Structure 1
Amino acid sequence: MNDLPLADLDAFAAVARERSFRTAARKRGVSASALSEALRRLEARLGVRLLNRTTRSVTATEAGMRLLERLSPALGEIAGALDQAASERDKPAGTLRLNVPTIVARVILPPIIGRFLKAHPAISLEVVAEDGFIDVLAAGFDAGVRYEERLEKDMIAIPIGPRVQRYVTAAAPDYLAKHGEPQHPRDLLEHTTIRHRFQNGIALAWEFGEGAAAITVAPPPTVLANAIDLEISAAVGGLGVIRSFEEFLLPEIKAGRLVPILEAWVTSFPGPFLYYAGRRHLPAPLRAFVDFLKAEQRHSERYGMFP
């Protein structure tokens, strides 16, 4: 008897307490016939009558009264447990695990997670920053952040951070004074450069412009690294031309340690996206983060700015 359907036991208790199929059905939002069928199944499984039914009344039998007395506390405990589980939607807790590119970890994510964690103090955050391309779910992450061309097609993606970013080119004043300023991307083939190599060993060529007007060059590097701090330091030290996210180079440009060049060839592209599997029931921390990002996106659209 340990495999008695919980729904049938709950239906019996509801009818026994209300002493009416119709009243119990109305309160539960089901039909009276559904409750009657549930009771029929339960009595058949137990081999005993639990309710006496007439056209005018429904009353529990002696066996039904004993069952109701034992059953009510257990059903109450179950209802309380379900209510507590449902309350996690309003007060989510747990750990949110994200895999993000370096640019996102350094520039985009910090102000966002500051606001998010203050709004959800019961959530903790684990972030791994890497520029490689991995299966985030297989690696144990709840979600990842990537740019549009790297999004997996079977995932759900929502914007995170600025909707437009730029790639810019720069060099140190001393380097330009010594080697001259390139006027066209192809001129970079005659210059030394500082280029980025991803963790998988790939060093992408530099692409300037968009569409049919795009130009791709792969100038010889003086420094080839996967550490942006080292790359920026090398550029500031006059070792060559650097091309990277504007957010990385802007502090050095503002300080005068780097000078923007090839400004007619600045490349704009869509900002990053948070992506995750399209499961119906997301982990509570991820659901809270998704809802938070959507609210911030609505705010930015309403006021014409990224918050």
Structure 2
Amino acid sequence: MTIAPNIKDLTAFVAVIEAGGFRDAARAIGSSPSAVSEAVRRLETRTGVRLLHRTTRSVAATEAGTRLLSQLKPALDGLEAALDVVNQFRDKPFGKLKLNVPVVAARLILPRILPAFLSMYPEIELEVVADDSFVDLLSAGCDAGIRYGESLQQDMIAVPIGPREQRMALGASPAYLARHGRPEHPDDLVRHACLRHRFSSGAIAEWLFERDGKTVRIEPQGPLIVRTGSSAELSVDVALAGNGIVQLFDDWLRPHFESGALEPVLEPWWLRFPGPYLYYPGRRYLPAPLRAFVDFVKAECERA
């Protein structure tokens, strides 16, 4: 008699297909690659059919695996929705919520929102993954994310979160400006030590400026390049030490402007741009923790 596979094995199989590999699937469902591999092996043994093509570099579904996935994914989603119904009978929703956000959002946006949210919903376990690369939410095992408009996927629902306008600021220490002079126009930056950032794609960020409808693009040069996001604070430290001019979000540099450790540079030229969005897959069913967070963010936006 064939024994029906358990839910964990089925979930592991779906995760491997969506993530494209055992390691990423394990990360998405909070398991280990070996445990995920064993779960898929059990599923293949119980069904008597090979479900995955495995090579040293990739994993892909067989025809049988593809057909199983097409039937299985809606069933698992329906099961999750059915189990979540009990949340409606609780005073406060419970469960896990996983967000994928850029480092700047973890530093500047979420600290203004999460304390009140976590106090209101103490039974929600929130996990925040700060990642500046563009990831697929579902394959990364995330419920929602924060991104700016130009990087949103078209099939996602987007809700404004945080300030609706932000600026990119330039700052330098008083000692640096005393030694090298103060730029009066963005073009003057070619003669200055600019502390640069490299995107996860490998490209070095250009510096954009705007004033009276005129846009100026500068390819900065200087003694330091750091990766955007988690390493950005290093460029601030180097600017504070008097080694160059740094460009970052206004809110990030604002405390140093207020203390006098950095001085604003070219402020009339600072680029303004729309604030970020909370985004999530456009589907009828939303898990209770995500639904609570979306409603909370919408209410915060209305009060702002």
Same fold, TM exceeding 0.5? yes
1:106 aligned counterpart, secondary structure: helix
1:214 aligned counterpart, secondary structure: strand
| Bigger mean CA deviation after superposition, 203-212 or 101-110 | 203-212
In the alignment, which of 267, 272, 276 is matched to residue 276 of structure 2?
272
1:248 aligned counterpart, secondary structure: helix
2:113 aligned counterpart, secondary structure: helix
CA-to-aligned-CA distance 1:143-180 (integer Å, 9 cap, x gap): 11001111111110001111111111111111111111
What does 1:200-215 align with in structure 2 at a 5 Å threshold?
200-209=201-210, 213-215=214-216
Q: Do the aligned partners of residues 88 and 215 (structure 1) sit closer, same or farther apart at CA in structure 2, a change above 3 Å counting?
A: farther
In the alignment, which of 295, 299, 302 is matched to residue 298 of structure 1?
302
2:192 aligned residue:
191
Q: TM-score, normalising length from structure 1?
A: 0.68
2:245 aligned residue:
241
1:103 aligned residue:
104
What does 1:12-161 align with in structure 2 at a 5 Å threshold?
85=86, 87=88, 91-161=92-162
Aligned residue type for 1:193: C
What is the root-mean-square deviation of aligned Cα atoms in Å?
2.0
1:48 aligned residue:
none
Separation of aligned partners in 1, 2:90 and 2:300: 19
Q: Do the aligned partners of residues 89 and 187 (structure 1) sit closer, same or farther apart at CA in structure 2, a change above 3 Å counting?
A: farther
Aligned residue type for 2:219: A
In the alignment, which of 275, 285, 290 is matched to residue 286 of structure 1?
290
Separation of aligned partners in 2, 1:151 and 1:102: 16
Q: Which runs of 5+ in 1 are unaligned?
A: 1-80, 301-307
Q: TM-score, normalising length from structure 2?
A: 0.69
What does 1:220-239 align with in structure 2 at a 5 Å threshold?
220-226=221-227, 227-239=231-243
Q: Do the aligned partners of residues 87 and 296 (structure 1) sit closer, same or farther apart at CA in structure 2, a change above 3 Å counting?
A: same
1:144 aligned counterpart, secondary structure: strand
Identity %: 50
1:177 aligned residue:
178
Shift of 1:83: 10
Q: Do the aligned partners of residues 88 and 107 (structure 1) sit closer, same or farther apart at CA in structure 2, a change above 3 Å counting?
A: farther
Separation of aligned partners in 2, 1:82 and 1:104: 32
Structure 1 consecutive aligned stretches of length 4 or more whose deviation exceeds 4 Å: 81-84
Separation of aligned partners in 1, 2:134 and 2:127: 18
Separation of aligned partners in 2, 1:153 and 1:211: 32
Q: Which runs of 5+ in 2 are unaligned?
A: 1-81
